């Protein structure tokens, strides 16, 4: 884009320089044209013209032509002067003077009276009103001048000439032909304009030169305007085409982007070729986040480039000409192929997986790239790009869920899953509208005292249409269909309402409310403002609130995500990193995330008593690193006392799990907190002096 902008600037500067140079050239007369009417190839004869009682003769001396006229007695029509024949001798073959805009005359005129005038006349022939045998029928285009008012040269604009009225009257010339016409001028004349007294009249013509410009000022301005307009149109077209190309191109790999591939598919489906087969291969690079975390984002970007180059090289080598390749986002790619036979669809996918078995060398690193591939073929039910991509995406999801580095073809089971997810999304939307959600609260305990210090807010739905569909199912679907932001705000506001209603109770029984938010909020520029507005509306102390984000939501962390986290922290709200250990966040990256707490995922807790010490070692490392970063740790999914003792002895700060309590409605939570027997039961779990057997692992 910058290159094109610089090109536009250079073109405009060049055009401006050319325009200025042309204007200067015209201003100093370098673009002038001229033609002599007193000599030269266009002059066929110079003669004397007279009428009345005149004695006259014509002389030529050193290029000057002089008419000496002596009026003997005054009559009605007395005239005398010089006539210069132009063009051919036949009066119907004159010359065209329309390219000129003025005539410059050098002449002398003496007469026996003051303010004597001459008539400058151009006589033109036109078959509409002229007779070749009648010289007087030639149109009189004339103007009267007093040459003695000028020092040397008389300059007369040609547009100042007029047609003599007596001539138009005499020859009955209509209005349309009574205007000045210099298209076929047969003669140029200098004639006395009235001879009111007898005496000597002398006219000396030194030179008569027509002057003009290659282009007039007005025409030049019009031309410049046209050139500038044309240039602007061309530059705008180039800019538009470039922007169109850029808007359809991924800047990193040079492939189509989502917009570009959508247009390609739409164009294909609307063309006569749509009867041919169209197959979409949807690639997702497995564990790409590990590459970014291990080698850095620059290496990750280079890997994406090399990956796309390898696929393109294979397509070219195999002479697959009818294809379009796109990077949809991050590490997701889409390949559209025409005319692949049904029995070749799987073979093509296998070949793609095969060519990726060889590692990609980046500097000193050799990186193996594995992909999950979803395959979908266009049919009568596939009306657009979104339909086709949704099918391929669903098939890719199945491939990834089935173990990665493989392909799956969209089929009936996948179709049923799509239908289920669409139906569920519609039910979620209706449940939001009809306010059919409610909250449960999962107690979180201080590991040293087993006092309930906070609660995790959990969403439940009492809509009959969603019966049997838990949050573990409908939350991912809500994220897929972009309903999650509505759910997030509903949960936050419902929690704030509960806190506001129980303000008196919570003043005696302080609790922190831990609320889960989706990854979508990290890219929601309005989220922190919405939070602040709700805090102010319900008068909530922000220190009572902790927002939980899953570690996997940080996979595509960017500057906007980090800024959103900082904005939330600036409101006084704490942040927890949920399900820690299930993603690919390196311990060294924790310093980049403004979080206060790590929640150790239940999957690690479940296997603490396994003979394999791996899980226990990971948990020890998480707690040790969290302590070094001064982060609070919460262990999720505690189900037996040995797990609790092991984690407490390692220094884990807080616990939650079925060992202590299950999620419950608010009123049940209040009863639990007030029940001495429940408190005694919890206290009975406190570790004795003996060390947990799990610590020995």
Angle formed at CA 84 by CA 83 and CA 85, multiple of 5 degrees: 115
**Coil/strand/helix, residue 303:** helix
Q: Which residue has the higher pLDDT, 411 or 496?
A: 496
Q: Are residues 342 and 466 in the same domain?
A: no
Q: Are residues 665 and 551 in the same domain?
A: yes
Average confidence score pLDDT of the chain? 87
Exposure b/e, 671-682, CB count within 10 A at least 16 = b: ebbeeeebeeeb
Beta bridge pairs of residue 444: 454
Q: Is the pLDDT of residue 498 over 80?
A: yes
Q: How many CA within 13 A on the CB side of residue 655?
A: 31
CATH of the domain at 63: 2.60.120.430
Determine, yes or no, domain membership for 415. Answer: no
Q: Are residues 37 and 16 in the same domain?
A: no
- The pLDDT of residue 586 is 54
Q: Is the pLDDT of residue 224 over 90?
A: no
Contact yes or no for 162/142 (Cβ under 8 A): yes
Catalogue the E-assigned strands of 158-222.
Answer: 162-163, 185-192, 199-213
Angle formed at CA 68 by CA 66 and CA 70, multiple of 5 degrees: 165
Instruction: Give the least confident one: 93-97, 113-117, 456-460.
Output: 113-117
Average pLDDT score over residue span 159-170: 92
What is the per-residue pLDDT across 649-663, written as a single tens digit (0 to 9) for each? 999 999 999 999 999
Contact yes or no for 162/182 (Cβ under 8 A): no
Q: Which residue has the higher pLDDT, 609 or 98?
A: 98
Q: Are residues 334 and 476 in the same domain?
A: no
- Give the pLDDT band (50/70/90) at residue 332: very high
CATH of the domain at 287: 3.30.70.270
- The pLDDT of residue 150 is 82
Domain count along the chain: 4
Sign of CA dihedral 13, 17, 22, 27: positive
Q: Are residues 82 and 206 in the same domain?
A: yes
Contact yes or no for 260/248 (Cβ under 8 A): yes
Q: Is the pLDDT of residue 558 over 80?
A: no
Q: Are residues 547 and 619 in the same domain?
A: yes
Contact yes or no for 202/73 (Cβ under 8 A): no
Average pLDDT score over residue span 475-485: 86
Q: Are residues 521 and 491 in the same domain?
A: yes
Residue 131: phi and psi, rounded to 5, are: -120, 125
Instruction: Give the least confident one: 16-25, 460-469, 616-625.
Output: 16-25
Beta bridge pairs of residue 452: 445
Determine, yes or no, domain membership for 624. Answer: yes
Contact yes or no for 93/87 (Cβ under 8 A): yes
pTM for this predicted structure? 0.55
Instruction: Give the least confident one: 13-17, 80-84, 674-678.
Output: 13-17
Determine, yes or no, domain membership for 419. Answer: no
Residue 55: phi and psi, rounded to 5, are: -105, 125
- The pLDDT of residue 691 is 46
Q: Is the pLDDT of residue 78 over 70?
A: yes
Determine, yes or no, domain membership for 104. Answer: yes
Q: Are residues 203 and 75 in the same domain?
A: yes
Which domain, by its residues, includes 356? 258-410
* C-beta contacts of 648-652 below 8 A and 24+ residues apart: 648/447, 648/448, 648/687, 649/687, 649/691, 649/692, 649/695, 650/619, 650/620, 650/623, 650/695, 651/623, 651/627, 652/447, 652/600, 652/623
Instruction: Give the least confident one: 308-312, 398-402, 485-489, 556-560.
Output: 556-560
Q: Provide, for the chain, the percentages of residues in helix, strand and coil under a 3-state DSSP scheme, each rounded to the nearest 5.
A: 45, 25, 30
CATH of the domain at 494: 3.20.20.450
Q: Are residues 37 and 6 in the same domain?
A: no
Q: Are residues 449 and 575 in the same domain?
A: yes
What is the per-residue pLDDT across 394-431, written as a single tens digit (0 to 9) for each? 899 888 877 889 999 988 887 788 788 889 999 999 99
Determine, yes or no, domain membership for 252. Answer: no
Average pLDDT score over residue span 549-554: 72
Determine, yes or no, domain membership for 425. Answer: no
Q: Is the pLDDT of residue 187 over 50?
A: yes
Cα-based distances in Å from 19 to 23, 60, 525, 667:
6, 46, 49, 84
Which residues lie closer than 8 Å to 254 by C-beta, 6 or more apart? 308
Assigned token pair, 87 = 């063009």
- Give the pLDDT band (50/70/90) at residue 696: very low
Q: Are residues 490 and 359 in the same domain?
A: no
- The pLDDT of residue 639 is 93
Contact yes or no for 213/99 (Cβ under 8 A): no
DSSP string, 497-553: HHHHHTHHHHHHS--EEEEE--GGGGG-TTHHHHHHHHHHHTT--GGGEEEEEEGGG
Share of the chain above pLDDT 90, in %: 46
Which residues lie closer than 8 Å to 327 by C-beta, 6 or more apart? 250, 252, 253, 255, 256, 257, 304, 308, 333
Determine, yes or no, domain membership for 463. Answer: yes
Q: Are residues 530 and 459 in the same domain?
A: yes
Determine, yes or no, domain membership for 388. Answer: yes
The residue length of the chain stands at 697
What is the per-residue pLDDT across 457-472, written as a single tens digit (0 to 9) for each? 999 988 888 888 888 8
The interaxial angle of helices 471-480 and 412-433, nearest 10 deg, is 90
What is the per-residue pLDDT across 335-361, written as a single tens digit (0 to 9) for each? 998 878 888 889 999 999 999 999 998
* C-beta contacts of 584-587 below 8 A and 24+ residues apart: 584/287, 584/289, 584/290, 584/293, 584/555, 585/293, 585/551, 585/554, 586/293, 586/294, 587/621, 587/625
Instruction: Give the least confident one: 22-31, 533-542, 619-628.
Output: 22-31
């Amino acid at each position: 884009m910058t290159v094109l902008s610089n090109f536009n600037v250079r073109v405009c500067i060049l055009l401006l320089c050319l325009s200025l140079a042309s204007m200067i050239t015209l201003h100093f007369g370098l673009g002038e044209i001229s033609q002599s009417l007193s000599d030269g190839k266009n002059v066929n004869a110079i003669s004397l013209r007279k009428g009345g009682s005149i004695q006259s003769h014509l002389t030529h001396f050193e290029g000057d032509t002089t008419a000496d006229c002596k009026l003997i007695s005054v009559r009605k029509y007395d005239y005398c002067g010089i006539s210069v024949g132009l063009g051919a001798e036949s009066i119907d073959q004159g010359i065209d003077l329309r390219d000129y805009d003025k005539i410059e005359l050098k002449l002398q005129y003496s007469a026996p009276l003051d303010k004597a005038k001459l008539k400058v006349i151009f006589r033109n022939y036109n078959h509409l009103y002229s007779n070749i045998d009648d010289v007087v029928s030639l149109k009189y285009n004339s103007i009267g001048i007093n040459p003695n008012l000028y020092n040397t040269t008389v300059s007369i604009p040609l547009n100042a000439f007029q047609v003599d009225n007596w001539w138009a009257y005499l020859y009955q010339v209509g209005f349309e032909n009574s205007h000045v016409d210099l298209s076929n001028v047969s003669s140029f004349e200098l004639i006395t304009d009235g001879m009111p007294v007898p005496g000597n009249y002398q006219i000396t013509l030194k030179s008569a030169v027509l002057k003009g410009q290659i282009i007039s000022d007005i025409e030049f301005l019009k031309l410049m305007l046209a050139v500038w307009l044309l240039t602007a149109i061309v530059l705008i077209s180039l800019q538009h085409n470039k922007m169109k190309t850029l808007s359809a191109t991924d800047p990193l790999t040079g492939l189509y982007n989502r917009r570009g591939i959508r247009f390609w598919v739409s164009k294909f489906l609307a063309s006569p070729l749509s009867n041919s087969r169209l197959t979409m291969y949807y690639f997702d690079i497995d564990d790409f986040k590990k590459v970014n975390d291990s080698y850095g984002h620059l290496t990750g970007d280079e890997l994406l480039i090399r990956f796309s180059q390898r696929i393109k090289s294979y397509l070219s080598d195999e002479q697959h000409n009818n294809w379009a390749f796109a990077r949809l986002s991050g590490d997701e790619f889409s390949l559209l192929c025409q005319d692949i036979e049904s029995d070749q669809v799987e073979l093509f996918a296998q070949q793609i997986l095969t060519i990726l078995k060889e590692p990609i060398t980046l500097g000193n690193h050799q990186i193996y790239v594995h992909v999950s591939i979803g395959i979908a073929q266009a049919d009568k039910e596939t009306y657009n790009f979104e339909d086709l991509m949704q099918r391929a995406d669903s098939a890719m999801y199945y491939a990834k869920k089935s173990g990665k580095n493989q392909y799956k073809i969209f089929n009936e089971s996948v179709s049923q899953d799509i239908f289920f997810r669409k139906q569920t999304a519609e039910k979620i939307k209706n449940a939001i509208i009809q306010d059919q959600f409610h909250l449960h609260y999962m107690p979180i305990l201080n590991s040293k005292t087993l006092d309930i210090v906070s609660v995790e807010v959990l969403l439940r739905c009492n809509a009959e249409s969603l019966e049997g569909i838990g949050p573990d199912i409908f939350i991912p679907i809500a994220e897929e269909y972009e309903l999650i932001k509505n759910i997030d705000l509903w949960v936050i506001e419902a929690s704030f309402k509960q806190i506001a209603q129980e303000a008196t109770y919570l003043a005696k029984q302080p609790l922190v409310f831990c609320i889960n938010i989706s990854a979508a909020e990290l890219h929601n520029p309005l989220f922190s403002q919405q939070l602040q507005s709700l805090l102010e509306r319900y008068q909530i102390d922000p220190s009572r609130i902790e927002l939980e984000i899953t570690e996997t939501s940080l996979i595509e962390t960017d500057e906007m995500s980090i800024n959103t986290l900082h904005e939330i922290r600036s409101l006084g709200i704490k942040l927890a990193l949920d399900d820690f250990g299930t993603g690919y966040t390196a311990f060294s990256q924790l310093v980049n995330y403004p979080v206060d707490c790590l929640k150790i995922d239940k999957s690690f807790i479940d296997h603490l008593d396994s003979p394999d010490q791996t899980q226990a070692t990971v948990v020890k490392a998480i707690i040790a690193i969290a302590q070094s970063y001064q982060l609070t740790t919460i262990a999720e999914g505690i189900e037996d006392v040995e797990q609790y003792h092991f984690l407490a002895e390692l220094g884990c700060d807080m616990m939650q799990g079925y060992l202590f309590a299950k999620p419950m409605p608010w009123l049940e939570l209040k009863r639990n907190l007030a029940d001495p027997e429940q408190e005694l039961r919890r206290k009975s779990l406190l570790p004795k002096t003996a060390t947990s057997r799990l610590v020995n692992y």
